[in-house]
Amino acid sequence: MSGLPSPAHGRGDEGEGSWTQTPASASLTSETRPDLKEDAMRYLVTMETIDSGEILGPAENAALLEDVVIPSLQTFSEWEKAGTIRGGLLAGRRGVAFIVDADSNEAMSDMLGSLPVWGTAEVEVTPLESIDHRLNSLKAIAQQMRG
C-alpha cells in the first residue's frame, strides 16, 4: 500500500502495516516510523471546512457531525497516537493543521483522500525542507564565501 498506517476503525488494511503507539512527544522519524523510506518527505497540511453557505437544520448538522467530522477527528487522533502526524485543531476555526512524513506525494494523497472530511474541506499541502539540510547548506555556502 502507501507506507502509511490505516486508521484502526476499519478504513483500510488492519494487521498489515499495523502500528504500535508512540508517545505524542515522539518525533516523526524512521525510529518511530520504521516503514518510512530514508528519504521520506515531510509536509505541513492544513484542512479547513468549506462553508457552503447553506443553513442546515439540527438533524442535518447531527448527521454531518456523526458521518464526517467525528470519524475524521477519530482518525486524526489515531494517527497522532501512532506517531504518524503531529498537530492539532486550529483554535477558534473549523480546521486542523499537522506535520506528516510520507514516502511520496502519492502516499500523502492516499492518506488525505481516506478521510471522510476530504470532500468537505479545503486542503493545503506544503512540502517542507528539513532544518538540518538547510543548516548544512547554509554553512557550506558561508564557508565558500569566505574562500
**1 in any annotated domain:** no
Which of 79, 80, 72 is closest to 120 using CA atoms?
A: 72
Distant-in-sequence, close-in-space partners of 44: CB < 8 Å, separation ≥ 6: 97, 98, 99, 125, 126, 128
**60 in any annotated domain:** yes
Q: What does the pLDDT read at residue 114?
A: 95
**77 in any annotated domain:** yes
Structural domain of residue 59, as residue ranges? Answer: 41-146
Q: What are 73-95's pLDDT values in tens digits?
A: 999 999 999 999 999 999 999 99
In order of 3, 24, 81, 87, the CA distances from 33 in angstroms are 10, 13, 12, 16
Residue 72's CATH number = 3.30.70.1060
Location of C-alpha cell 467525528: 70
What is the 3-state composition of the chain as percent helix, strand, coil, each rounded to the nearest 5?
35, 20, 45
Cβ neighbourhood burial of 12 (10 Å; 0-12, 13-18, 19+): middle
Q: What are 31-82's pLDDT values in tens digits?
A: 555 566 667 899 999 999 998 888 889 999 999 999 999 999 999 999 999 9
**32 in any annotated domain:** no
Q: What are 131-141's pLDDT values in tens digits?
A: 999 999 999 99
Quick one: average pLDDT of 125-136? Answer: 94
What is the pTM (predicted TM-score) of this model?
Answer: 0.72
How many structural domains are present in the chain?
Answer: 1
Pair type for strands 95-102 and 41-49? antiparallel
C-alpha cell read off for 116: 471522510
